[in-house]
Amino acid sequence: MTPTQTDKDASMARAMWAVVLVGLSATVVAAWVSGALAARSAALGAAVAAANLWVIALVVRGMLGQKKSSVPWSLVAVLKMAALFGGLYLLLRGGWVSLLPLLAGYGALPLGIVAGQLGAPHPVEEEG
Protein backbone atom coordinates (compact mmCIF):
# COMPACT_ATOMS: atom_id res chain seq x y z
CA MET A 1 0.00 0.00 0.00
CA THR A 2 1.46 3.33 -0.98
CA PRO A 3 0.86 6.48 1.06
CA THR A 4 -1.69 8.86 -0.38
CA GLN A 5 -1.18 12.60 -0.80
CA THR A 6 -3.36 13.18 2.27
CA ASP A 7 -1.11 10.88 4.33
CA LYS A 8 1.96 12.74 3.11
CA ASP A 9 0.41 16.12 3.91
CA ALA A 10 -0.60 14.95 7.39
CA SER A 11 2.90 13.62 7.97
CA MET A 12 4.41 16.93 6.89
CA ALA A 13 2.00 18.86 9.12
CA ARG A 14 2.95 16.66 12.10
CA ALA A 15 6.64 17.21 11.42
CA MET A 16 6.15 20.98 11.08
CA TRP A 17 4.19 21.20 14.34
CA ALA A 18 6.81 19.10 16.09
CA VAL A 19 9.60 21.39 14.83
CA VAL A 20 7.69 24.43 16.10
CA LEU A 21 7.02 22.84 19.51
CA VAL A 22 10.62 21.66 19.95
CA GLY A 23 11.82 25.13 18.91
CA LEU A 24 9.47 26.76 21.39
CA SER A 25 10.79 24.47 24.12
CA ALA A 26 14.38 25.34 23.21
CA THR A 27 13.50 29.03 23.34
CA VAL A 28 11.94 28.75 26.80
CA VAL A 29 14.92 26.77 28.13
CA ALA A 30 17.38 29.26 26.60
CA ALA A 31 15.51 32.17 28.19
CA TRP A 32 15.47 30.45 31.55
CA VAL A 33 19.16 29.45 31.43
CA SER A 34 20.83 32.40 29.70
CA GLY A 35 18.47 35.32 29.21
CA ALA A 36 17.09 37.40 26.37
CA LEU A 37 19.91 37.07 23.79
CA ALA A 38 19.89 33.29 24.11
CA ALA A 39 16.09 33.20 23.85
CA ARG A 40 16.14 35.39 20.74
CA SER A 41 18.88 33.22 19.24
CA ALA A 42 17.02 29.97 19.92
CA ALA A 43 13.75 31.41 18.61
CA LEU A 44 15.46 32.58 15.44
CA GLY A 45 17.14 29.19 15.00
CA ALA A 46 13.79 27.46 15.40
CA ALA A 47 12.13 29.84 12.93
CA VAL A 48 14.90 29.17 10.40
CA ALA A 49 14.45 25.42 10.98
CA ALA A 50 10.71 25.59 10.36
CA ALA A 51 11.16 27.75 7.25
CA ASN A 52 13.88 25.42 6.00
CA LEU A 53 11.61 22.39 6.41
CA TRP A 54 8.79 24.14 4.57
CA VAL A 55 11.03 25.10 1.63
CA ILE A 56 12.55 21.63 1.50
CA ALA A 57 9.04 20.16 1.31
CA LEU A 58 8.15 22.51 -1.55
CA VAL A 59 11.33 21.67 -3.45
CA VAL A 60 10.95 17.92 -3.02
CA ARG A 61 7.25 18.02 -3.96
CA GLY A 62 8.13 20.13 -7.01
CA MET A 63 10.99 17.90 -8.10
CA LEU A 64 9.02 14.69 -7.67
CA GLY A 65 5.76 16.08 -9.05
CA GLN A 66 3.98 14.21 -11.78
CA LYS A 67 3.43 17.13 -14.11
CA LYS A 68 6.07 19.29 -15.73
CA SER A 69 6.78 22.41 -13.68
CA SER A 70 7.98 25.77 -14.94
CA VAL A 71 9.86 26.38 -11.68
CA PRO A 72 13.56 25.39 -11.76
CA TRP A 73 13.49 23.50 -8.43
CA SER A 74 17.21 22.75 -8.42
CA LEU A 75 17.88 26.51 -8.58
CA VAL A 76 15.41 27.08 -5.73
CA ALA A 77 17.30 24.49 -3.65
CA VAL A 78 20.65 26.17 -4.31
CA LEU A 79 19.23 29.62 -3.51
CA LYS A 80 17.71 28.23 -0.30
CA MET A 81 21.09 26.95 0.84
CA ALA A 82 22.80 30.23 -0.05
CA ALA A 83 20.17 32.23 1.83
CA LEU A 84 20.41 29.89 4.82
CA PHE A 85 24.18 30.06 5.16
CA GLY A 86 24.45 33.71 4.16
CA GLY A 87 21.67 34.80 6.50
CA LEU A 88 23.07 32.88 9.45
CA TYR A 89 26.54 34.25 8.77
CA LEU A 90 25.23 37.83 8.75
CA LEU A 91 23.24 37.28 11.95
CA LEU A 92 26.26 35.84 13.74
CA ARG A 93 28.69 38.40 12.33
CA GLY A 94 26.44 41.30 13.32
CA GLY A 95 26.08 40.04 16.89
CA TRP A 96 22.30 39.67 16.61
CA VAL A 97 22.44 36.08 17.83
CA SER A 98 24.61 33.80 19.91
CA LEU A 99 25.89 30.62 18.27
CA LEU A 100 25.03 27.85 20.75
CA PRO A 101 21.42 28.91 21.41
CA LEU A 102 20.98 29.43 17.65
CA LEU A 103 22.15 25.86 17.07
CA ALA A 104 19.87 24.62 19.85
CA GLY A 105 16.93 26.29 18.12
CA TYR A 106 17.96 24.94 14.73
CA GLY A 107 18.29 21.51 16.34
CA ALA A 108 14.50 21.57 16.40
CA LEU A 109 14.63 20.52 12.73
CA PRO A 110 15.94 16.96 13.10
CA LEU A 111 14.29 16.45 16.49
CA GLY A 112 10.97 17.73 15.19
CA ILE A 113 11.10 15.54 12.10
CA VAL A 114 11.74 12.46 14.22
CA ALA A 115 9.07 13.43 16.76
CA GLY A 116 6.60 14.17 13.98
CA GLN A 117 7.07 10.69 12.54
CA LEU A 118 6.41 8.91 15.83
CA GLY A 119 2.64 9.06 15.34
CA ALA A 120 2.71 8.35 11.63
CA PRO A 121 0.91 5.26 10.32
CA HIS A 122 3.28 2.65 8.97
CA PRO A 123 2.76 1.24 5.49
CA VAL A 124 1.23 -2.20 5.43
CA GLU A 125 3.17 -4.78 3.49
CA GLU A 126 1.12 -6.77 1.03
CA GLU A 127 1.43 -10.51 1.13
CA GLY A 128 2.13 -12.03 -2.19
Selection from 24, 75, 17 nearest residue 45 by Cα: 24
58's CB contacts (< 8 A; 6+ apart) are 76
pLDDT tops 50 at residue 55: yes
Q: What is the mean pLDDT of the chain?
A: 86
Q: What is the mean pLDDT of residues 47-66?
A: 87
